[in-house]
Structure 1
Amino acid sequence: MDSVKAGVLGLLLVIAAWGDIKRHRIPNILILTGLVLAILLGAWQAGFPGLLSAGGGFALGLAAFLPFYLLRALGAGDVKLMAVVGGFLGPSGLPGAILGTFLAGGVMALALALHAGKLGQMLKNIKAMLTNGMIDVSLKQMPIMEAGPQSVGKLPYAVAIATGTLGFLVLRYIGWM
């Protein structure tokens, strides 16, 4: 990824994270802007293959996070933001960003639970979700997160997406990935 693409993606991620912290939402205009820029930059840099890479990355990012939206674990804005990340990184770069995002999200969730003094409740919630999910799968049903567990707090997941993606890009730039 060249510096122009990385800079544009970084700026979009910072704006999305800031908006998620302040307003608990990611504006659709930011998502649309990101999608258009990912497609234009991909086509500008590599022609038709770049366009295909942007489209494939967008679809893969959407597909990777859509199940979490269906399970009510993430908001629609988070799913669309990861799709935009996929548009910039393409299918080959997206798995590293997803892994970084999951790691950042886990650390953030743990920090939030510790700060709020709700680590025990968080562990109970995880146990309940895994147990209920395994039961649903064994009954050949779609696992659904119900309103049973007591929430530990609201996590602005755009921050995890930004941190994980930018962390992945830095590690790739310095040759560690």
Structure 2
Amino acid sequence: MLIIGMLLILLLIAAWQDIRYYRIPNILVFPATVTGVLLHTLLPQDMGGLGILFSLAGLVVGLVALLPFYLLRAMGAGDIKLMAMIGAFVGPASMLVITVYVLLAGGVWALGIILVRGRLSRLLENLKIMLLMHFADPSNASFSASTTLPESAGKLPYGVAIATGTLVYLVLNH
């Protein structure tokens, strides 16, 4: 319960920081990640500690789960580091399920923000451009560094989706 309680507090702080500043600070994520690993290493099993390998495996799964989105510049590094932190607290199997919840929450969150901001037409135009590029030349469907990118449909504090997906998982499973 200590581990889950600490994770909940950290998620709320991270989501708040992302809403306010569009950043999830390293000063929050790095010490919290180390804390997650240490808790699992030092606490006995009856108090929630499941070992260092459990925690490190979760950290790695969390780190790579959304890495493709970061590489496509669709997500920030803070979001990836937050996922790694969560993995250190919940372990690898839970992290895989949490990733699904995070992606679902992110889709709902993004659509809601786009509708509220009146940017649906921009989103649809961007999708049309991507599809046309793909079908015109599927081997060259990615943007190069010199390609002018279309205007974004908007910035999204994805830490909120990460926190929401994780909270839904924790409520359903604890």
TM-score > 0.5 by shorter chain = yes
In the alignment, what sits opposite 1:75? 76
How far 1:172 sits from its partner (Å)? Answer: 1.3
How far 1:166 sits from its partner (Å)? Answer: 0.6
Aligned pairs for 1:105-116 (under 5 A) are 105-116=106-117
* Unmatched segments (≥5 aa) in structure 2: none
Question: What root-mean-square deviation, in Å, do the aligned CA atoms of Structure 1 and Structure 2 show?
Answer: 2.4
- Distance in 2, matches of 1:31 and 1:5, equals 15
Q: 1:49 to 1:168 in 2, by over 3 A?
A: closer
Q: 1:142 to 1:123 in 2, by over 3 A?
A: closer
- Same amino acid, percent of matched pairs: 47
Contact 1:28/1:77 (CA < 8 Å) preserved in 2?
Answer: yes
How far 1:119 sits from its partner (Å)? Answer: 1.3
How far 1:116 sits from its partner (Å)? Answer: 1.4
SS in 1 for 2:51: helix
- Distance in 1, matches of 2:136 and 2:66, equals 22
- Distance in 2, matches of 1:129 and 1:24, equals 26
Partner residue of 1:35 out of 16, 33, 36: 33
Offset from partner CA, 1:45-73 (integer Å, 9 cap, x none): 35796200111111111111221111100
* Unmatched segments (≥5 aa) in structure 1: none
Give the TM-score normalised by the residue count of structure 2: 0.86
How far 1:94 sits from its partner (Å)? Answer: 0.4
Report which of the two structures shows the higher radius of gyration computed on alpha carbons: 2
- Distance in 1, matches of 2:57 and 2:134, equals 30
Q: How many residues align?
A: 169
Partner residue of 2:13 out of 12, 15, 26: 15
Offset from partner CA, 1:105-131 (integer Å, 9 cap, x none): 111111111111121221232343456
One-letter code of the match for 2:154?
Answer: G
